[in-house]
Structure formats: C-alpha cells, structure tokens
A and B are shown apart, each in its own frame.
Chain A
Amino acid sequence: MIKNSPFNWILLILSSLVLLFILAPLTGMFLHTEGSKLLETVSDKDVQHSIWLTLWVSFTATFFFALGAVPLAWVLARKKFPLKGLVQGIIDLPVVLPHTAAGIAVLGFISRDGFLGKVADSVGLTFINRPAGIALAMAFVSLPFLINSARDGFAAVPERLEKAALTLGASQSRVFFSISLPLAWRNITSGFVLMFARGMSEFGAVVIIAYHPMIAPVMIYDRFTSFGLKYARPASVVFIIIALAVFIILRLIPAGRNHLNSRPHAEND
C-alpha cells in the first residue's frame, strides 16, 4: 500500500468522522456530569432498583428464550423445509418494526383480552406492569440477534463432524450436545450477549407494556420529561457505565479456544 496517498487520507478522515460522531455525544455527556451528581445518582434507591431490574429482567428473558431459540437456530442451519425463507423473514421482522408498534403488538397478545394474557390470567398471572411483561417485550425485539448469530454458528460447524458422530454411534441429541453446541458455542454466547444488551436498552416496546416498574431507559426518559436534561444526564451516565461493564464482562467469558478457526496444520514428521 502506498502511504500518504490522497485516498488513504480520505479514508482516514471519513473513518475518524464516523468514530467521532459516536464518541463525541458520549464524551460530552460524561464531561457535563459533575462527580457529586453522579455519586448522588448512584446512591439513589430508585436508580439502583431500575438498573438492577433492567439487568435481571433482560438476562432472564435472554436465558429462557435461548432454550428455544438455540434449537430453532440449529434447525434453520441444518434442515431444509418448505417456506424456510418465510420463517427466516419472520424471525428478522422485529428488527425492522418500529419498537412502539412492536410493543403494541405484544400488548395485544399479553393483555387480559389477548391469547397469552387469557391463559396466564387463568393461572393467576398478569403481564402488564410486571417484570414478566417487560421480559416479553424485551425478548420480542431482541430475539433475532440470538437466533441469527447462533444459526451462523451452527452453519459453520462442518456437517461431516455431525455425520461422523452419527456413524460412531451417537444419538441425534448427543451429536447436538457434544458436537454442534460446543463448536457453535462462541457464536451462541456472542448472540446471547447481543440479545441481552439489546433487551437491556429497549425503550419503545417496554414503555407500552410497563411504565412501572421502571427499567433504566424508561427512568431516564421519565427524568428527562419531568425534570429536564440536567437530571436525566447523571442517570444516563450511570446506566451506560453499568451496561458497558456488563457487556465487557460477558464478552470476556467466551474468549476461550475457538475450535473451528484454529485449523489443523500439518507438521513435518
């Protein structure tokens, strides 16, 4: 590559502008927040509760939906069936829907008149203004991230390995748990983190289902509309710091061996 060519300068300037666009507002927000206000916000019980609520509800939603989403991802990666393209389209649908519209759709489904709402009501459960309802709203908009990432992971597992396991006497379920799942693990955890993070930051769908109890994004919105930018800012900073910390921790966990990318290389023998 030729250094200092005009093309390289243009690339550098454009890339820097984009990065600056992401970093500038965040940095500005951090700089505009006084340390004392930040401490005050951190010790605010409401803030603590809402952040904790956001974290555990999103995590629980991700965990439980993963139990169904991961097998679905395997089916999408391995099986041929009619209307597979349509199924794939349906899975991606929540990504393109306006989130408030998604919230309305979920609300219709889980309110006492809705299908799931009726079933839940008959066993004494309600979703509206409950963590369970928030979890459903979060899952609705964030599921595609897990399914697609896990599907790519399963698709990258060489089918021969699964065939070999079958010929060696493994049952379908053993092949899944001892070959496919471990080899797709990196993609699955990465999808898990994405779904969790996406669920955690959801506002539009959640606010339709439950204004209270307040998850962090709703709380930030609430402070902004009731008291203004100055009051919303420290809460935002705290939530961003916590979200980043969680994100980094979860990213570090699956950084083990990546079996599929470490290709065997022949030694001289």
Chain B
Amino acid sequence: MLKMIDVNKKLGNFALSGINLEIPEGEYFVLLGRSGSGKTQLLELIAGLYAPDSGEIRIAGKDVTRTRIQDRNIGLMFQDFAVFPNMTVSGNISFPLRCRKYSHADISRMVAEAAEKLNIDHLLDRLTNNLSSGELQRVALARTLITSPRLLLLDEPMASVDASLKDDIRRIFRQLNREGLTILHVTHDYREAISLAARVGVLHNGRIIQEGKPGEVFRRPENEFIARYAGIRNFFRVKLYAEDGSWNAVTGNKMVISIPPDEYPVEGLLAIRSEEVKILNILSAGNSQKNMFRAVVREIYPSETGMEIILDAGEMIHADITMNEFTELNIKELSVVWITFSSEAPIVFSGKELI
C-alpha cells in the first residue's frame, strides 16, 4: 500500500534521512518516536504537505512523490485534530465533500452516515469551540474518513484525549483496520503500539532504527534506546565471560547473571524487563538456581498492572508484579525476598548497538 524508498528531507536543522518503509494493504503499523524524532514531518511528507528532497513515495504501486496533495486521497488526522473553529460540526465533516463538489443531497446523506457511525449525530449543528477533546477527535475522524481514504495517518491520536476515552478510540481504530483500512499511527507511547500494531517501527533522530512485530521489537530491542522506549527499567553495565560453556555477565556491584549462550564481546549493557523479574517468599525456596538473588525491598509503588517493587540485590532491580502476587507475598519495605528470572530474560547489548 505505502512504500517509501530512501526518502530524505531536510527541514530546518533537522532531517529525515534514508527512510525506507513498507506497509502492506490492510496493515496497522505503529511508528514510535519521541517528540522531535520527526514523526509528524514523516506523516506530512506522506500526505504531501512537503515534497521530499530525494527518494520516492509509492501508494498502491503508484509513484506519488510529486502528486498534488489533493489528489493523493490520504487521510491525515492531526494531533490536536485541527477542527475548523469557524464551522459547525457538520460544516467540518462536509468540508472534504464540498471541496469535491458533491451534490447537496449526497453531502447531507454522507454526513449523517459518518456522524452516526462515530456517534456524533447529536452534535452536527454545534460550533466546535465547546466540544470535549473526545468529541473533537470524532469530528476530525469523521471528516477524514468521509472521502474513504486508502491510507489513514494518525498523528499521536491518543495524546490529546482523556484517559477514559482511550479505549473507545482504540476500538474505533481496530474496527476501521478490520474493515480493511491501512493505518499508519505515530506515537511516543509503546503501550499504544503493543495494543494496536501488527507491526511497529522505531524512529529516532530522523531514521527508522528498528522494525518488526511488536513482540519481537519489545522483547528483543536492537539497542538501548529502543529498550528504554519499550519501558525496560533494569539496565546494567556488565562484563561478559564464558565459563564451562555457559555465559555470565557480572555487574559493577558483582551480581553474576547467567545469560543465553551467544557470541559476546567483553563488555556490554544488560537489560531485564521488570515483568520478567519474579519475587519469591524468602521461606519458599533456596539459592540453588541460577539467576536467583537475595534482595531487600526498598520501595513499593502502585502501577498500572499491579505493583512496582524496587529491590536491592546488589543492584537496584525493578519488578512488576500483579496485585494478587503482591497480596500473597505479603511484603513491605525492608522485607527480605528472593528474586529470580530465567536465563532467557536478560537482553545484552554490545558494540555498535550501544548509543
């Protein structure tokens, strides 16, 4: 559906460089990037608001690099929705149809349909300046979708809506995607990527630095930046060595961690997802296994999924546990526990991947 071949664009003192991206028909692709990574510019390039300095943009097999923006039939929803304040809701939704000179009868029928689909039919005659963020988003979405674009570009669609509305919005996006719409969604929040994407890419300093299924990218991030992005909080500088055919990593504070067998340099960076860290009652097990450490509970915070525990096992380690686990363990600050994780859990970054 969308194919970008070696696209370069300089914008002020910032540049998108060597962008290669392919999104097949009907895919939900999420592009992750911090603010300032060039996400919005990339979308505007695809939509045709800028022309690239070099490279090619193809849509449905056709080169559209120099095609007029009005002829691309790409829907772009802006982060703050860019709803026109001088028009009513209905004026906003019908705007693309009026640009295309549809008849009055068609316009009122299509606007009514679109509004009903997004549950904003009761707002049609309202001006937009006293709508809620969720309502504004639906207006913007209805306006974008009314011409049935072949590709929908979403710029941080969750950033400006209340948390309570995010589920609704996600459901709408999933539904649109199920109906066959190809979606490119850019965000800074990896959780959005996990919950929506069939594939994700990571944009950093104007380059796409990793691409793949969300599971792969977040379980096996290619570098520290992506790992931090994916919400990994346990990072240790380590020395790596082999012993009796198995590999170990030793941290600055002499924690010895067993890691999957592979080829490693002498030094690197080790990451462990906090969900992979299990906490065991001090009475329940012994210290016979690999990657099992005695630890003292330092801090306990409620988290989205349960509790986040910060433990001192020589190194400070973050663990995410469920509420049930937390109640069963019956731990508080300064409790002594065992922590453990499988030898597959550590991710080792070395050499050029270190940023």
Chain A interface residue number, banded? 20 to 34
Q: CA of A163 to CA of B48 in the docked complex: distance in angstroms?
A: 10
Distance to closest chain A CB from B132 (angstroms): 4
Check B129 against A166 for contact (C-beta < 8 Å).
no
Q: Which residues of A contact B111 (CB under 8 A)?
A: none
- Known contacts A158-B82, A166-B70, A167-B47; A264/B130 CB under 8 A: yes
Q: Which of A183, A266, A267 has the most CB of B within 10 A?
A: A266
For A160, give its contact among B69, B80, B131 (CB under 8 Å). Answer: B80
Question: In the bound complex, how far is the Cα of B131 from the Cα of A267, in angstroms?
Answer: 7
Minimum distance in angstroms from A214 CB to a CB of chain B: 43
A contact set with B: CB distance below 8 Å = 158, 160-161, 163-171, 174, 178-179, 182-183, 257, 259-260, 262-269
A207 and B75 alpha carbons, distance in the complex (Å)? 58
How far in angstroms is the closest Cβ of chain B from A266?
A: 5
The reply to whether B129 and A259 form a contact with Cβ atoms under 8 Å apart is: yes
A-B contact sample (9 more), CB < 8 A, given A163-B44, A166-B49, A168-B144:
A164-B76, A164-B84, A170-B70, A170-B99, A171-B99, A174-B99, A259-B85, A264-B83, A266-B162
Output the nearest chain B residue to A182 by Cβ-Cβ distance.
B86
A168 touches B95 (CB 8 A): yes
Please count how many residues in chain B sit with their CB below 8 Å of the partner chain's CB atoms.
Answer: 35
B281 located at the interface, meaning its Cβ lies under 8 Å from any Cβ of chain A in the complex: no
Q: What is the distance, in angstroms, from A162's C-beta to the closest C-beta of chain B? A: 9
Contact present for A168 and B99 (CB under 8 Å): yes
Shortest beta-carbon distance from B281 to chain A in Å: 44
* A265 contact set on B, CB distance < 8 A: 130
Which chain B residues (180-217) contact chain A, with CB distance < 8 Å?
none
Q: Chain B residues near A267 (CB, 8 Å)?
A: 130-132
Given A165-B95, A166-B70, A170-B70, is A259 in contact with B144 using a C-beta cutoff of 8 Å?
Answer: no
Q: In this assembly, does B9 line the interface, its C-beta being within 8 Å of a C-beta of chain A?
A: no
Q: Which of A259, A262, A264 contacts B136 (CB 8 A)?
A: A264
Residues B132 and A161 in contact, CB atoms below 8 Å apart: no
Question: Is B18 in contact with chain A by the CB < 8 A criterion?
Answer: no
What is the minimal beta-carbon distance from B167 to any residue of chain A, in angstroms? 14
CB distance from B273 to the nearest CB of A (A): 35
Q: What separation, in Å, do the CA atoms of A266 and B96 have in the docked complex?
A: 26
